[in-house]
Amino acid sequence: MNTEQELFARSESRCELCTSTENLTVYEVPPESNGNPKQSVLLCDTCKDQIENPDKVDVNHWRCLNDSMWSQVPAVQILAWRMLTRLSAEGWPQDLLDMLYLDDDLLAWAQATGEGQGDVDMVKHMDCNGAVLQAGDTVTLTKDLNVKGANFTAKRGTAVRKISLVADNPEQIEGKVDGQHIVILTEFVKKSN
């Protein structure tokens, strides 16, 4: 059985993303597909054209990912992740993306084409001096901060180790102070060397 026959059998002669039954072709999922069925999917012309030409994307067409993202086929999961990432600014795709879990190998494959990398570069977290902060950095508080809900004050000069970045807000980071996990505004921290 060749790749095309295997894909038609696996997908029951339907597009593996939108379930269309017309104009189906084999699509090798980049970047390292060798034409084997595990690295390929069966797509309709509409899905294939919109994947290959981002300027032609019809957002509503991709609501089909609500179902296909749950496929057990890794190559289908990869394409679902890439399209949800591409469309995440629309709102609903981000909600689906938050539910989609890919193990480390699949995530590396999904990110291999650079999909979504531009979004990461746009949000930069900077300390009070303009130094770029990264997850895992150690910062020092530059003023006393009253921690809401925890009934204590985080004192100026306190080191906060292994910070994490709030993905959608460049003005906030998270870290532990006195054993409490808190959100801290970047304007009140200085990156430690």
Here the tokens at position 120 are 């990461």
Domain end marker among 64, 95, 119: 119
- Tell whether 56 and 138 lie within a shared domain: no
pLDDT at 119: 45
Indicate if the pLDDT at residue 120 is higher than 70. Answer: no
Ranges of beta strands (E only) in 102-167 are: 125-126, 132-133, 139-141, 145-147, 152-154, 159-160, 164-165
Q: How many domains is the chain built from? A: 2
Chosen domain end from 97, 119, 141? 119
Tokens of 181: 């996990």
In this prediction, residues 144-157 reach a mean pLDDT of 88
Strand-pairing partners, residue 165, are: 173
Instruction: Specify the pTM.
Output: 0.59
Q: What sign results for the dihedral spanned by CA atoms 121, 183, 94, 32?
A: positive
Q: Does 178 have pLDDT greater than 90?
A: no
> Span 67-96, mean pLDDT?
92
Same domain? For 34 and 63 the reply is yes
**Together in a domain, 142 and 106:** no
Are 146 and 78 found together in one domain? no
DSSP tag of 61: G
Question: Does one domain contain both 9 and 97?
Answer: yes
Last residue of a domain, one of 119, 152, 169: 119
